[in-house]
Structure 1
Amino acid sequence: MKPESAKPRKFTGYHATAIIVSFFGVVIAVNLLMASFAVTTFGGTVVDNSYVASQKYNEWLEKAREQAAHGWDVSKIVRHEGKVAMTVLGADETVLQGAEITATASHPVGRTDPVELSFRQDSTGTYVSSDTLPEGRWKLRILITHGGKEMALARDVL
């Protein structure tokens, strides 16, 4: 049994207004938060100009076929004492001797400036960068030159 002094509360225009304003306030706050995350965490582009990229597509395919014809194989790129190391095998599956290797290391989301690396071959045949690469994830754009042939590739380094 209800006490006589307890009256049912009325739902007024104030309550409806408070609920509607609160709902849209939460929606707007979440949208602003997500938009700020989207703008501050993505720092790169896939291609600068998609039209120009589409015009060069067949040329890029031909270059890829030429590179595949070299028969070169690049091992997984690893870090060793802060430096980057890789092994390049020739078509005969032996270590490619005397290749000139350079690379540009870019942070995937553009938070730091690119780092230019040059490589030298050690006694085991492994190519090791002359400079160290700061910790973190990097995208390497590598250029290998040997005997008048070139190979360009992109690899990730963790």
Structure 2
Amino acid sequence: MSHPQARKPFRFTGWHFTFILVAFFGVVIAVNVYMATLASGTFSGVVVENSYVASQDYNRWLDEAAREKALGWHASVTRMVDGRVQVRMSGSEKAPLPAKARLSGEAWHPLGQEADRAVSFRQQADGSYVSFDPLPAGRWRLRLRLDGDGHVWRGQEVL
């Protein structure tokens, strides 16, 4: 007759605890390295070239932004079938849009996957503006500037 061997009870030892700690911190470090790699690959890190010089212009920028906001102008941006950009501007009763104004812009890809590019517009008979060149497919941010009758308006739109 054979006797079943008695099982040893499980003992949690220092080696078990060491393995759990190493595994836990290994996962944390691996995830942090992965996230840091993604972050550094998609953000240039430059907001302004020289923060001291930018601080000298800060109050002027605030004054310009207040004047632009007081105009009450707004832009509506759409991509046409051929990839060109159409911008429709709307004025306000206090400050109607000038009949002849020049619209210019800069398109930039939020993640830096495409190079920034200048966008030139031509005013159409209906008052809208259409870009000369198409923009590649994808998500773009447009910084727009409208100059006319001594007024300057700046806006930023997502396309």
Task: Give the TM-score normalised by structure 2.
Answer: 0.79
Rounded to whole Å, the distance in 1 between the matches of 2:24 and 2:134 is: 52
- Structural mapping, 1:4-15, within 5 Å: 4-15=5-16
State which drifts further: 28-37 or 91-100.
Answer: 91-100
Instruction: Tell me if the contact between 2:75 and 2:87 (Cα under 8 Å) persists in the aligned partners.
Output: yes
Q: What root-mean-square deviation, in Å, do the aligned CA atoms of Structure 1 and Structure 2 show?
A: 2.5
Matched, 1:19 2:20: yes
State which drifts further: 35-44 or 125-134.
Answer: 35-44
Q: Unaligned regions of 5+ residues in structure 2, if any? A: none
Kindly tell me: are residues 128 and 112 of structure 1, through their superposed partners in 2, closer, same or farther at Cα, counting changes over 3 Å? Answer: same
**Match of residue 142 from structure 1:** 144
Q: What is the Cα deviation at residue 56 of structure 1?
A: 0.9
Q: How much identity, in percent, do the aligned residues show? A: 44
1:138 counterpart letter in structure 2: W
Matched, 1:127 2:129: yes
Rounded to whole Å, the distance in 2 between the matches of 1:13 and 1:51 is: 55
**Match of residue 80 from structure 2:** 80
- Structural mapping, 1:1-158, within 5 Å: 4-68=5-69, 71=71, 73-81=73-81, 82-90=83-91, 96-147=98-149, 149-158=150-159
1:22 counterpart letter in structure 2: A
Q: Unaligned regions of 5+ residues in structure 1, if any? A: none
Task: Give the TM-score normalised by structure 1.
Answer: 0.80
Secondary structure of the structure 2 residue equivalent to 1:75: strand
Secondary structure of the structure 1 residue equivalent to 2:76: coil
Give the total of aligned pairs. 154
